[in-house]
């Protein structure tokens, strides 16, 4: 039982450390979403069948490093269950947090609010 507690504590500390390092190297701003879409991300084939993965994209207006941006951003939540993604955007989110590696706003992504 003690090893489980130690393992969970170590995981918690590690994930918090990684999160703080992430925001030290990334910039962010609030953005407004005009529309969302579900797109095909990739197809995996194997001798036993295949799988299709989808991803969300949002058309976002935001400011990155002093410049207005208006473009489609990836929402990093891919899934093989298209219906789950449809349910996620059924509430028609209107805002997101756009984030990018500092100095590279062309690599921006967003998390829905």
Percent of the chain with pLDDT over 70: 84
Return all residues near 43 (Cβ < 8 A) that are at least 6 apart: 50, 51, 52, 53
Most confident listed range (15-24, 41-50, 60-69)? 60-69
> Residue 17: what pLDDT?
47
Look at residue 10 in the predicted model and tell me its pLDDT. 62
Closest by Cα among 36, 32, 27 to 64? 27
Least confident of 23-27, 58-62, 99-103: 23-27
User: Higher model confidence: residue 77 or residue 98?
Assistant: 98
Q: Is the pLDDT of residue 111 over 60?
A: yes
Do 17 and 10 form a contact (C-beta atoms < 8 A)? no
């Amino acid at each position: 039982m003690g090893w489980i507690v130690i393992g969970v504590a170590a995981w918690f500390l590690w994930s918090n450390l990684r999160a703080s390092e992430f925001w030290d190297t990334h910039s962010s701003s609030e953005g407004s979403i005009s529309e969302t879409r579900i797109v095909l991300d990739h197809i995996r084939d194997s001798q036993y069948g295949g799988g299709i993965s989808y991803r969300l994209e949002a058309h976002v207006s935001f400011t990155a490093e002093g410049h207005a941006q208006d473009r489609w951003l990836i929402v990093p939540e891919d899934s093989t269950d298209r219906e789950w993604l449809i349910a996620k955007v059924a509430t028609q989110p209107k805002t997101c947090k756009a984030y990018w590696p500092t100095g590279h706003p062309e690599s921006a992504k967003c998390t829905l609010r």
